């Protein structure tokens, strides 16, 4: 393991900024300082790839340009605008964030950690990203790419969160957190990748602890059990139900049988009860509504 005090921090920062100047990705949210626009991009990017987000980001902002516009929109319109991004619950969280900002913070996104924690769907990374990109705070936004790059630079094979935070704080250039965090993100996405990192042409090769130790840790995600396969999972069918309801003409509903045959053309015994449980789960999360209690019919949320 390379001790932090042996890293030539100023030289490392200079080289990484030089690399970033030449290789930075041209993304529609880069350079944004509007807290609302940054929040939208960060929530979209939580579980969706950069390319897909880039296709939807500006269109979403055009439709809902402010916290007030998003807060007052119908849930159905928000879900339709979210189409293609997946994990539809994030759209609900984002709208609930907007409603809280309007009601409790006079339409201004707060900058302090404790206040940001009160907003639904915001974890430590998203909070740090908002503080860095929107407010210029000297904080490290530790996403997956940053964690991997920092662990390799410091030569830590299996880092703890405390170790990674210590590395991040040591390397963060005062007053330039936004550029630094974005440079590290691009470096992790394009250069210091999880699989087959481009070490031989890396500008930080002679400074990298993992190279000196002849090990390139990949920071594999620890899970308690094997994750559920997506295809055929409850999450898969939840997404199909939301997509079907989202595409219904305004005011139109579907019976449970119509919905079942739409998402599962050859249903089996017990599938209707299974579908009803999925629908009620979606209703509980604000992603669907049951509009007739006697003979249930389902629609996109109003």
pLDDT in tens, 173-229: 999 999 999 999 999 999 999 888 888 899 999 888 888 776 555 444 433 334 456
Q: Are 63 and 289 in contact, with CB atoms under 8 Å apart?
A: no
Domain ranges for the chain: 4-26+140-212, 35-133, 234-299
pLDDT digits 0-9 by tens, 57-97:
999 999 999 999 999 999 999 999 999 898 889 999 999 99
Indicate if the alpha-carbon torsion angle 188, 190, 192, 196 is positive or negative: positive
Catalytic residue among 11, 42, 258, 292: 42
Of the candidates 150, 124, 139, the one whose C-alpha atom is nearest the C-alpha of residue 172 is: 139
**87-92 — which CB contacts under 8 Å span 24+ positions?**
87/46, 87/47, 87/48, 88/238, 88/239, 88/242, 88/287, 89/285, 89/287, 90/43, 90/44, 90/46, 90/47, 90/121, 92/285, 92/286, 92/287
Topology of the domain comprising 4-26+140-212 = Endonuclease Iii, domain 2 (1.10.1670)
> pLDDT, tens digit, for every residue of 38-58?
999 999 999 888 999 999 999
pLDDT band at 101 (very low <50, low <70, confident <90, very high): very high
pLDDT, residue 230, reads 66
Per-residue pLDDT of 153-188, as tens digits, reads 988 878 888 999 999 999 999 999 999 999 999 999
Q: Does 234-299 match 35-133 at the fold level?
A: no
CATH fourth-level superfamily of 35-133 = Hypothetical protein; domain 2 (1.10.340.30)
CA–CA distance from 41 to each of 47, 85, 157 (Å)?
11, 12, 31
Q: Is the pLDDT of residue 278 over 90?
A: no
Say which CATH topology domain 234-299 has. Answer: Arc Repressor Mutant, subunit A (1.10.10)
Percent of the chain with pLDDT over 70: 91
Phi and psi, residue 267, nearest 5°: -70, 155
The answer to whether residue 228 is catalytic is no
Q: Is the pLDDT of residue 272 over 80?
A: no
pLDDT for the residue 252: 78
């Amino acid at each position: 393991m390379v001790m932090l005090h042996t890293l030539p921090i100023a030289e490392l920062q200079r080289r990484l900024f030089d690399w970033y100047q030449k290789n930075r990705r041209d993304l529609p949210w880069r350079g944004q300082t509007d807290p609302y626009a940054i929040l939208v991009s960060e929530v979209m990017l939580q579980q969706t790839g950069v390319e897909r987000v880039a296709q939807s980001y500006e269109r979403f902002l055009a439709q809902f340009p402010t916290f007030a516009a998003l807060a007052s929109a119908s849930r159905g319109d928000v879900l339709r605008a979210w189409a293609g991004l997946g994990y539809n619950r994030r759209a609900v969280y984002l709208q609930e964030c907007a409603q809280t900002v309007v009601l409790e913070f006079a339409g201004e996104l707060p900058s302090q950690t404790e206040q940001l924690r009160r907003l639904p769907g915001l974890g430590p990374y998203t909070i740090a990203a908002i503080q860095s990109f929107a407010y210029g705070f000297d904080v490290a936004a530790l996403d997956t790419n940053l964690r991997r790059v920092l662990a390799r630079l410091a030569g830590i094979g299996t880092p703890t969160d405390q170790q990674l935070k210590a590395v991040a704080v040591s390397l963060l250039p005062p007053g330039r957190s936004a550029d630094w965090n974005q440079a590290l993100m691009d470096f992790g996405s394009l250069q210091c990748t999880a699989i087959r990192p481009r070490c031989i042409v890396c500008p930080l090769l002679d400074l990298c602890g993992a190279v000196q130790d002849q090990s390139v840790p990949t920071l594999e995600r620890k899970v308690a059990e094997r994750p559920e396969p997506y295809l055929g999972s409850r999450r898969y069918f939840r997404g199909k139900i939301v997509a079907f309801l989202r595409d219904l003409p305004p005011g139109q509903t579907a019976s449970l049988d119509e919905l079942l045959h739409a998402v599962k053309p050859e249903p089996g015994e017990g599938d209707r009860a299974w579908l009803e449980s999925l629908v009620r789960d979606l209703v509980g999360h604000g992603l669907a509504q049951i509009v007739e209690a006697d003979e249930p019919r389902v629609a996109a949320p109003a």
